[in-house]
Amino acid sequence: MAQLESDFTVIEGSWEQAQQDFNDLETAYYSVNNELEDIQALVRENDGVRILTTYMANPPASFEQKIATEVYKVLIAEEQDFEDWVVLYGENTAKILLQQEVDAIAGGFVWNPTENTAVGGNSYQIKLETYFTMEFSPAKVTVNNMHMEIKATVNIDTGALSTLQVSLVEVG
């Protein structure tokens, strides 16, 4: 009987160690799982940036028109030579030629993310910015440091964009 009690005590000690090892393993599992969930959330956020920057690599003519309109407003307000040229050649001519210039450079902008905010389960509000030189040769106007920001809501599951807008254009 003494041997049985001794064996039972040894088994009980081994069982307690096995339980502790299992608890340690469970803790490590949850820790790794939490880290993986954090990484997955970061990847999902970056998917929104990727979708919007891919879209902006070849924006549709309708969005290029929005860009040209905002660039026109800034040039007319900030660049006296441009304003003088518009007075001579007319607003319609200026807008048509500026649209052509924007069409030529829009796909070459380098977009950098500045905001990435979850706004729903699968949607993110993304803001991108770019800096570029705006050279408008018909008016002999060059702006070396133009800054533009765009923003949109991106559904990362469907790739759909909504509320796409030019949120800022300024001479830097």
Largest CA distance in the chain: 113
DSSP state of 159: -
Q: What are phi and psi of 58, to 5 degrees?
A: -150, 70
Question: Taking the model in full, what pTM does it have?
Answer: 0.78
DSSP state of 57: H
Distances (CA, A) of 138 to 31, 49, 59, 83: 62, 35, 24, 12
Percent over 90 (pLDDT), the chain: 69
Give the model confidence (pLDDT) of 26-51 as tens digits.
Answer: 777 777 777 777 777 766 668 999 99
Alpha carbon distance 70, 49 (integer Å): 23
Give the model confidence (pLDDT) of 103-142 as tens digits.
Answer: 999 989 999 999 999 998 889 999 999 999 999 999 999 9
User: H or E element: which one contains 83?
Assistant: helix 80-89
